[in-house]
Chains A and B, each alone.
Chain A
Amino acid sequence: MTENQVTINGNPFPVQPDDTILDVARRNSIDIPTLCYLKGATPTGACRICVVEVENARNLLPACSTPAQAGMVIHTESPAVVTSRKMSIELLLASGNHNCAVRGSDETGSFTDFQLGVQAQDHSDRLCPAWGDCTLQDLAYRYQVSGEAFPATEVKYPLESVNPFIVRDFSRCILCGRCVQACNEVQVNNAINFGYRGKNSKIVAAGDRPLKDSDCVFCGECVQACPTGALMEKDARYRWRPWEAEKIRTTCSYCGVGCQLDLHVKDNTVFKVTGAEEIAPNYGSLCVKGRFGYKFINSPERLSSPMIKENGEFRKADWNEALDLVARRFAENRDSHGPDSMGVLTSARIANEDNYLAQKFTRAVLGTNNIDHCARL
């Protein structure tokens, strides 16, 4: 074996400077599960899901924060690794209202009793709203872990929904810290952090206030980073299931950054927006307008028919009537007052294709260069 290689599950792989074990594995399509690891932030190794066995090391090591050193012999799914992961998952499942049906019965009673307890806290008789969109659930399934190994811990903090966008359900928070990193290391809004200690730990906004009274700017980076149902879009909660929705990749229509995002659509309605994580320019980040400012699309005030004003009042018209009128008046105006008596304001809001046709129309049909848009305004 050459000097700058590691062995993973029996195969050699080259190591680059500053690589972690996780970096080498991901680059080579070796699946090491992660939970708290957030790309772009400092790895903490807190959740211990990504532990791997490194020969001659005393303990299992977290792949996300352990530098890959030449000569390491690494096993990613050894019996010791699997046992450790199962234990980590069992503990996480016991730490709150993870009522996604992977939990069986335990000494505290039947699943029904457990579910009734959850219902009293989250005011819903349904299963966790993140069902099917939860990394913890995926891990429980992958390692066939159910929740009864440890007694359920007490839920300490009530659900917070006093803002228009984000529901914080502390009963489903596993304190992985991804939201804290998303806020402090990705968006650098510094609005939330770990608060209190030990079994009282809680993710808090400054002074443990509701988000709406904190420095939070509702970019929703934390929601996108949350691996469980602890942080959810208010609009999507209990209304959106990943497999029911179609995801359409498009470009945000607000500022000029051009964030790439996915519109989650069900029944011709956008229910949720997420940032496209793997590509420029935004690498998953969005702002409050891009993530939560989509309701105008379905506003009842949207114009749905051409309108013609008569005696100071608008009336509905069909396309033929409206377009004939516009074409006739434009032509009359052009022919009687000259092309330069007309102007077109095209738009910084519409697409390139529309703008191209607008200027072609202005120049080739109206016969003037009087075209501009609101770039300056």
Chain B
Amino acid sequence: MTNTIADVEEADVILVTGSNTTENHPVISSFVKRAASLKDTKLILVDPRRIKLAEHADMWLRPNLGTDVAWINGLLHVILKEGLYDRDFVENRTQGFEALQEMIEKFTPDYVSEITGIPSRQIIEAARLYAGAENGAILYCMGITQHISGTDNVKSLANLAMVSGNLGRPGTGVNPLRGQNNVQGACDMGGLPNVFTGYQKVTDADTVGKMESAWNTTGLSDKAGLPVTEMIPRAHSGEIKALYVIGENPLVSDPDLNHAEESFSHLDFLVVQDIFMTETAQKADVVLPTTCFAERDGTFTNTERRVQRVRKAVHPPGAAREDWRIIAEISRRMGYPMDYKNASEIFDELASVTPSYAGLSYARIEREGLHWPCPKPEHPGTPILHAQAFPIGRGNLHAIDYIPPAEQVNDEYPLYLTTGRVLYQYHTGSMTRRTEGLNERAPESFVEISPADAEKYGLQEGDKIRIASRRGEIMARMTISDKAVDGTVFIPFHYAEAAANRLTNSALDPVSKIPEYKVCAVKLSRAA
């Protein structure tokens, strides 16, 4: 997030898109609901499903799946045509305005309406509402990013914020909501193929030299590695022979699971380190037992870049050990000693090689976490990014054209499928499905369909349904719901026995390599 969570309540207008906030980030949703329901803040919701937040929204725009660039460009079109943009901000803080202007020329409300299904009147009103606000905040989540146009979608939202001057102040910003406790930290720590900690590029010779000297080693590779969505296919082709999987369950969470399973079976050697015998661990040659959050000291970095303490409360079961101890032990046995007494020592080392964390220490975040960048021990942290300038100087406005999703419906696969989570389950369910109460509330998978589609296909509430895509099929119970819109069904991806990812498309965004989980074509039939 460019801004803080609490900031959301300071906004005059909040635009939420591609985020089922009340189920996926319930506590952030409270900030949004308080602002929208108890204060004067206006809430614009753009989402293909009639999610709970729609009840609190002043406007609900319902786009066709995968048409985000089109509606965002539509808003930009109106904002520029009606002179609602922030001239000062555009002139002083951005570049690329002319190219953007040229691109959005064709995105008239009528043209956008054709692509997105959103009435042109609503495009105009939403543009006026967002750009007319003193402070407008954008919140988004995987509904924006999990598309082949995911990067384009995010850049388009950034265009919208910059053109409206909605950055750098409380109640503004472009705010991705991170779906897992330490996504932000895993990225910050260099758990990515192209960067060391703090987004320092592995292809930069000076950085490589700096890390070699800090780590007392030589010959670090300066060639970017493979993202997960390319590693797995290369296991299939035999280029990747050994895989070390720590705290992940790709055999439920990866797209096009049938293909992913085959890929894993081609590996020569698979090590899985986890707290449960997950679907992925079952395929391993060696399984290493580790600790859960309550059994270890450390830090997580939340969605607002706040680095916070994790503390040991109970002892782990049996021989289970902290992840870092296991990694250090393997490393030592491979001839590279990693001698740390505790997590705090590791934190001090990572802070010393990471400029944005350099001012942080356990002592400083003992009571309350701090937001990076925090370059010096006396620095107060940075709750709001881009207040005076962007790190790159001027912010780039990107001229982006609309491209349709990779897969379209046809006569054989006439319905769109979109996937996501439900309130009571979490990701691949390895924790929540072993927690009785949560399971009682959400025991099994379902396919959510609109009343009109249910009638059209002759399906009843509770029917056992076979759902098939070009890649696989699963069975789930039918739920007829007003949340669903005609032509699109929804299936949660938590349930391994009815894994939605057997159906999903592994087509990738060319830049971020994120799969298009949010759109594929399926057909339904009543199971025999």
Using a CB–CB cutoff of 8 Å, the interface residues on chain A facing chain B are: 164-165, 185-188, 217-219, 246, 248-260, 263, 265, 268-270, 279-282, 285-290, 292-297, 299, 301-309, 314, 317-319, 322-331, 333, 337, 339-361, 363-365, 367-377
CA distance A258 to B368 in the complex (A): 11
Could you tell me if B294 and A164 are in contact, using CB atoms closer than 8 angstroms?
Answer: no
| Apart from A344-B243, A348-B248, A365-B331, 20 more pairs, CB < 8 Å | A248-B311, A251-B293, A255-B178, A259-B27, A280-B5, A302-B318, A307-B286, A309-B287, A319-B329, A330-B244, A340-B223, A340-B225, A345-B246, A347-B246, A355-B185, A357-B327, A361-B331, A369-B193, A370-B231, A377-B517
Which one of A255, A308, A309, A368 lies within 8 Å of B225 (CB-CB)?
Answer: A368
Give chain A residues whose Cβ lies under 8 Å from the Cβ of B98: none
Interface 1/0 per residue, B258-302 and A, CB below 8 Å: 000000000011010011110001001111111011111011111
| Nearest chain A CB to B50 CB, angstrom units | 15
Q: Once bound together, how far apart are the Cα atoms of A214 and B241, in whole Å?
A: 52
* Best-surrounded residue of A280, A329, A377 (most CB of chain B within 10 A): A377
7 A–B contact pairs at CB < 8 A? A294-B435, A303-B317, A319-B319, A327-B334, A333-B241, A351-B185, A352-B347
CB distance from B403 to the nearest CB of A (A): 19
- Shortest B193–chain A CB gap in Å is 5
Residues of chain A within 8 A of B181, CB atoms compared:
251-256, 258, 348-349
B309 and A187 form a contact (CB under 8 A) = no
Whether A376 and B512, one on each chain, are in contact in the complex, defined by CB atoms closer than 8 angstroms, is yes
Quick check: B426 and A293 within 8 Å, CB to CB? Answer: yes
Q: CB-CB contacts of B124-148 with A at 8 A, as 1s and 0s?
A: 0000000000000000000001100
Cα–Cα distance between A270 and B431 once the two chains are bound (Å): 15
Across the interface, do B437 and A248 meet the contact criterion of CB distance under 8 Å? no
Are B27 and A347 in touch, CB under 8 angstroms? Answer: no
Q: Is the pair B289, A309 in contact by a Cβ cutoff of 8 Å? A: no
Q: Are A251 and B253 in contact (CB under 8 A)?
A: no
Whether the Cβ atoms of A360 and B424 lie closer than 8 Å is no
**Residue in A closest to B267 when the chains form the complex, CB atoms:** A343
* B228-A376 in contact (CB<8A): yes
In the assembled complex, the Cα of A325 lies from the Cα of B287 at a distance in Å of 11
| B122 part of interface (Cβ distance < 8 Å) | no
Q: How far is the CB of A83 from chain B (nearest CB, A)?
A: 37
Return the contact of A258 from the options B30, B321, B369 (Cβ within 8 A).
B369
Residues from chain A with a CB closer than 8 A to the CB of B95 are none
Contacts of A317 in B (CB 8 A): 286
Q: Residue on A with the closest CB to B289? A: A303
**A219/B26 in contact, CB under 8 A:** yes
CB distance from B300 to the nearest CB of A (A): 5
Q: Provided the pairs A164-B441, A270-B313 are in contact, do residues A357 and B328 lie with their beta carbons within 8 angstroms?
A: yes
Question: Smallest Cβ distance from B465 to chain A, in angstroms?
Answer: 25
Within 8 A of A (CB), among B147-205: 177-194, 196-197, 202
Residues of B near any A CB (own CB < 8 A) = 4-6, 22, 24-28, 30, 33-34, 37-38, 56, 145-146, 177-194, 196-197, 202, 211, 215, 217, 219-221, 223-229, 231, 235, 239-248, 250, 253-255, 268-269, 271, 274-277, 281, 284-290, 292-296, 298-304, 306-315, 317-324, 326-331, 333-336, 338, 343, 346-347, 349-350, 367-369, 423-424, 426, 430-432, 434-438, 440-441, 512-515, 517
Given contacts A287-B26, A345-B248, A351-B185, contact A257 B302 (CB under 8 A): yes
Q: Nearest-CB distance from B352 to chain A (Å)?
A: 11
Query: Does B286 lie within 8 Å of A309, measured CB to CB?
Result: yes
Of all chain B residues, the one with the shortest Cβ separation from A377 is B253
With contacts A345-B244, A369-B223, A372-B228 taken as known, whether A289 is within 8 angstroms of B310 at the C-beta atoms is no
State in angstroms the CA–CA spacing of A258 and B56 once bound together: 24
B223 near A263 with CB under 8 A, answer no
A288/B186 contact (C-beta < 8 A), A188-B56, A345-B245 known: no
**In the complex, chain A residues whose CB is within 8 Å of the CB of B243:** 342-345
| Max count, chain A CB within 10 A of own CB: residue among B56, B311, B321 | B311
Q: Tell me the complex Cα distance, A264–B329, Å.
A: 32
Enumerate chain A residues within 8 angstroms of B323, measured Cβ to Cβ. Answer: 350-351, 354, 357-358
Q: Which of A256, A265, A309, A324 contacts B177 (CB 8 A)?
A: A256
Contact of B293 among A253, A295, A360, A364 (CB under 8 A): A253
* Residue in contact with A270 in the complex, picked from B145, B215, B294, B331, CB distance below 8 Å: B294
Residues of A within 8 A of B211 (CB): 363
Whether A326 contacts B315 in the complex (CB less than 8 A), given A253-B293, A270-B294, A342-B240, comes out as no
| B304-A281 in contact (CB<8A) | yes
Q: A370 touching B346 by the CB < 8 A rule?
A: no
What residues of A have a CB within 8 angstroms of the CB of B248 in the complex? 345-349, 373-374
Contact of A306 among B145, B193, B288, B437 (CB under 8 A): B288
Q: Are B246 and A346 in contact (CB under 8 A)?
A: yes
- Tell me the smallest distance from the CB of B272 to a CB of chain A, in Å: 9
For A359, give its contact among B183, B190, B312, B434 (CB under 8 Å).
B190
Closest to A258 in B: B302
Closest to B269 in A: A329
Contacts of A219 in B (CB 8 A): 26
Contact of A302 among B5, B25, B178, B276 (CB under 8 A): B276
Q: Nearest chain-A residue to B180 (Cβ)?
A: A348
Is there contact, CB below 8 Å, between B347 and A353?
yes
Contacts of B299 in A (CB 8 A): 351-353
Complex CA–CA separation, A279 to B28 (angstroms): 15
Q: Given A251-B310, A357-B324, A314–B182 Cβ distance below 8 Å?
A: no
